[in-house]
Amino acid sequence: MPSDSLYKRISDYGIIGDMHSCALVGNDGSIDWCCFPRFDSPSVFASILDAKIGGRFRIAPRSKYKSEPRYEENTNVLTHTFATADGLVRLADFMPCYMLQGVQTSFHEIIRKVEGLKGNVAMRLLFEPRLNYARGRTEIDVSFDKSGKAVNKKESLALSSSVQLKKDNDSLVAEFVLKKGEVAWFVAKYAEDMSLSVSDYLPELKLERTRRFWRRWVGRCSYRGRWSEQVLRSALTLKILEYAPTGALVAAATTSLPETLGGMRNWDYRYTWLRDSAFSLYALNLLGQFAEAEAFLSWFLSVARKSGVNLQILYGVEGERYLVEEELRHLNGYKGSKPVRIGNAAYEQFQLDVYGIVVDAAYFSHRYVSSKLKDIYEEIRNIIDLVARIWESPDRGVWEVRGEPKHYVHSKMWAWVALDRGIRLADELGYHDDGERWRPIRNRIRNDIMEKGWSKKKKAFTMYYGGNDLDASNLLMPLVGFLPATHPKMKATIERTMEELLENGLVKRYNSNDYLEGDEGAFTICSFWLVDCLTKLGQVKEATKYFEKLLSYANSLGLYSEEIDLKTGEALGNFPQAYTHMALINAATNLEDALSGKY
């Protein structure tokens, strides 16, 4: 088993991407995770999942150094300034990302620029791709002195350099010295048949266009409050996780980063959950980014037409339905956390909430962006009619529990949302008969939740009917309009949640048996939900305290993983996670309104 010392902390990474794929760059200048040509394609670098055989692309000083990571202002261009005893150098990493003739570019390139800032700094490059999740042998060939190629069957990754490269077994290496003002460029190009000179890739031009693209996009964000830096970084993170050709949003950049070190809670998040995409629509709308809402709605419609009323909770970024889960047994996992999984068996689960989330997103789009919902009303009506028939069925719940289906309170709440938003849509579009049909069912669902979802013993809404376990997802009740936060039962639920699930300012998902071995950390998004609830209760001072505490758990670049270790505060789970950044945007916006007297 590789030593833990071979691995960086999850929080030691930043992300770059081109809205087709992405890469994680460590604070030591090493790209330890990247998949081409899509987010969910096989990896070309995966040392984050196996430090010995996964593969990496590292550029760093040869001598001891200190590293300062940061993003160029209002961009996804990531820099690391390395300070050594001999001087300073800056490494800038990006994937070309901009529009050409109205179409999002897709170069499938990683461009790295190293610039001497002070003194003379000796640098070292290590390029060791391990294509196809490090399955089979990746062979390295030097084409010219300054270019080479990695090949694994039909896949290839070329490297062009402005310094001389040498072959070292199945890797390319280079050693060079940078003086103040000198610049070295490196371009890694996926599926390149031949290695070109580095200048042929126009790296400086692509860098300027990429900077301009990100800054123009951020310039359209309307939030200008006291947490602008964190909110805009979250917005940029959501944007980088969007798959440009369809508008779908991946849940996270990675697979199998563990929720518990050494445990089995390792899942593939490089797919599109309808829930996550819908929530991103709300968050980006708050920032005035309406084009993303239109893109999501278009993607959803294409998926819905293929699926009919049999909606899945997650899909591939181009609407793929079959995401068969398998284990990569040859990879040791992050710090020995096995198994490493690709695919996600949750696509086979029945989750009732997805229907309500989709109807809510459709209603939201109708109200706040220029969607022509009347054209697709029949499809939305079919979904609502289905919910009216099946809302009493048990399901797996929002947390995708792999035990027996139950009557989860959160799922029933979203069934209520489906009927509630359906009634509003019907009334606004003139389909009054539909609204009249759905009203009695909406009322039945509400009464059912109020009676069966409430525990007299716990004095709170619980995870599932007849139980006494708490579930942080019930904090969404006031956020979707099911109950006001000030309702006695809702207020009591918030209080019980803080008593039993809150620890070190962080909220755990639940305190129930989920049929998996080991524990997990605090689920970061739940903590932001608590901030929203406290804001709605008028407890603005306390909400601000918790929000500021949550901001301290981001890494130095403002990025969040799925979970946070309750003892150490370290990042756990897949990274960066879109769901968390959506919640930060929502919480910051609501809290800002409350503090300014608008709420």
How do strand 87-94 and strand 99-100 relate by DSSP bridges? unpaired
Query: Which amino acid, residue 288?
Result: G
DSSP 138: P
Residue 194 DSSP symbol: S
H/E run at residue 412: helix 409-429
Task: Classify strands 99-100 and 103-104 as parallel, antiparallel or unpaired.
Answer: antiparallel
Taking the C-alpha atoms of residue 508 and residue 528, their distance in angstroms, rounded to an integer, is 11
What is the predicted pLDDT for the residue at 379?
Answer: 84
Q: Can you tell me the distance from the alpha carbon of 42 to that of 274, in angstroms, rounded to the nearest whole number? A: 23
3-state secondary structure (DSSP) of residue 276: helix
Q: Rounded to two decimals, what is the model's pTM?
A: 0.95
* Nearest CA-CA partner of 24 in 569, 558, 575, 553: 575
Contact indicator for 520, 574 with CB cutoff of 8 Å: no
Contact 53, 134 (CB under 8 A): yes
pLDDT per residue, tens digit, the chain (599 aa), is 446 679 999 999 999 999 999 999 999 999 999 999 999 999 999 999 999 999 999 999 999 999 999 999 999 999 999 999 999 999 999 999 999 888 888 899 999 999 999 999 999 999 999 999 999 999 999 887 799 999 999 999 999 999 999 999 999 999 999 999 999 999 999 997 777 899 999 999 999 999 999 999 999 999 989 999 999 999 999 999 999 999 899 999 999 999 988 888 899 999 999 888 888 888 988 898 888 777 777 787 778 777 777 889 999 999 999 999 999 999 999 999 999 999 999 999 888 999 999 899 888 877 766 556 777 788 889 999 999 999 999 998 888 777 789 999 999 999 999 999 999 999 999 999 999 999 999 999 999 999 999 999 999 999 999 999 999 999 999 999 999 999 999 999 999 999 999 998 899 998 866 555 656 778 899 999 999 999 999 999 999 999 999 999 999 999 999 999 988 999 999 999 999 999 999 999 999 999 987 75
State whether the Cα torsion 471-410-456-515 is positive or negative: negative
Q: How far apart are CA 442 and CA 423, in angstroms?
A: 9
Q: Domain map of the chain by residue range?
A: 4-215
CA separation for the pair 110, 44 (Å, rounded) = 12
Distance of CA 287 to the CA centre of its chain: 18
| Cβ neighbours, 10 Å, residue 462 | 24
Q: What is the pLDDT of residue 1?
A: 42
Residue 172: count of CB within 10 angstroms of its CB: 23
C-alpha to C-alpha distances, 422 to 2, 361, 369, nearest whole angstrom: 54, 11, 17
Reduced to 3 states (helix: H, G, I; strand: E, B; else coil), residue 523 is strand
Q: How does strand 109-128 pair with strand 139-144?
A: unpaired
CA 395 to chain centre: 25
* Cβ atoms of 115 and 90 closer than 8 Å: yes
243 within 8 A of 226, measured Cβ to Cβ: no
For residues 344 and 594, what is the distance between their CA atoms, to the nearest angstrom? 40
Q: Tell me the CATH number for domain 4-215.
A: 2.70.98.10
Q: How many residues does the chain have?
A: 599
Cis amide linkage into residue 576, ω under 30° from 0: yes
Residues 6 or more apart in contact with residue 536 via CB below 8 angstroms = 478, 479, 484, 485, 486, 590
Distance CA 323, CA 344 (A): 6
Contact in structure between 33 and 253 (CB atoms under 8 Å): yes
Is the link from the previous residue into 37 a cis peptide, with omega within 30 of 0?
yes
- The answer to whether the beta carbons of residues 292 and 277 sit under 8 Å apart is no
Contact 402, 515 (CB under 8 A): yes
Distance CA 255, CA 43 (A): 10
Contact 317, 276 (CB under 8 A): no
Question: SS3 for 26-86, per residue?
Answer: ECCCEEEEEECCCCCCCEEECCCCCCCCCCEEEEEECCCEEEEEEECCCCCCEEEEEEECC
